[in-house]
Structure formats: structure tokens, C-alpha cells
Amino acid sequence: MGMEVGGKKGGPMASMNVIPLIDILLVLIIIFMVITPLTPKGLSALVPQPSPPDQKPQEQDLERKTIVVQVLENNGLKINEDSADWTNLGPRLSEIFKLRAEKVAFVKGDDNVVFSNVARAIDVMRANGVDKVGLITANLEAGK
């Protein structure tokens, strides 16, 4: 608080000094501006949309077929319906996606699979030419 001496009544007058308050507010604004871009971001995920119930399934050729990598409970893998293992997952995905324009694939994990195996599959997929990786859940597969 500042103090003014004098005035018409002759006594001391008290007035608030707001300069330190403004300094504190400016420092807080700078701190929040620096912290804001550092907020963590999650993985962007694609979710396939179920087809309408009255639409008949169309036959798709192998080039246009959606690729689904399924992680099984017994540490096994499947690419669509073909069995695979961790050693040949990367080369097979590279071979599948080398001629495709859209490099989108989906990952599906069994109910009791360890999440680290799903994350490992996503890493292998991203390292071998898949630009976007989507997740398939049981509810989505059931059409809910």
C-alpha cells in the first residue's frame, strides 16, 4: 500500500499500489503460455464404420480388401485370416502395402491379450509402411 500525505483534510490517505499485482499476473500468463503446448497428445485412431444392415456384402478383390492384423492370446498373429508370426509380420505387411495408395490397416486384439503385444503390433505396422492404424473392438465388430 502506498501512502499519500496531504490533501484537503490534512490527514494521511491510503491507496493501493497495483504495480506488483500486474507483475504477478504477467508472470502467470507467461507460465501458462509456455505450459500449454506441452500437453500430452494421444494416438490418433481410426474406427471402421459398420455397413448398413440392409446392404449386401460386396465381393472385393485382394487389392481393395481391408487389412486386419489380429493379435491372439497365444502370442500368435493373423493377417486377415492367414496365420503369421512376429518374425514375418513386417515383411508381409511391406509386401501387402508396397503397391497400395491408401496405407490403412486395423488391429484387433483378443479379450485376454496383453496390451503390450497390441502396441508391438502397431509399432511393427507403422515401421513397415502403414500410415494409419485403426482399432477394432468387439462392440464395433458386432455392429453396435
pLDDT at 58: 53
Does residue 57 sit within a domain?
Answer: no
Residues 77 and 127 in one domain: yes
pLDDT along the chain (144 residues), means of 10: 57 76 92 78 69 60 71 87 88 86 87 87 88 80 64
Confirm if 115 and 77 have CB atoms less than 8 A apart: no
Whole-number pLDDT of residue 26? 94
Range of the domain at 132: 67-142
The pLDDT value recorded for residue 74 is: 85
Domain harbouring 93, CATH code: 3.30.420.270
- Residue 114: C-alpha distances to residues 45, 87, 96, 117, 140 (Å): 19, 18, 26, 6, 20
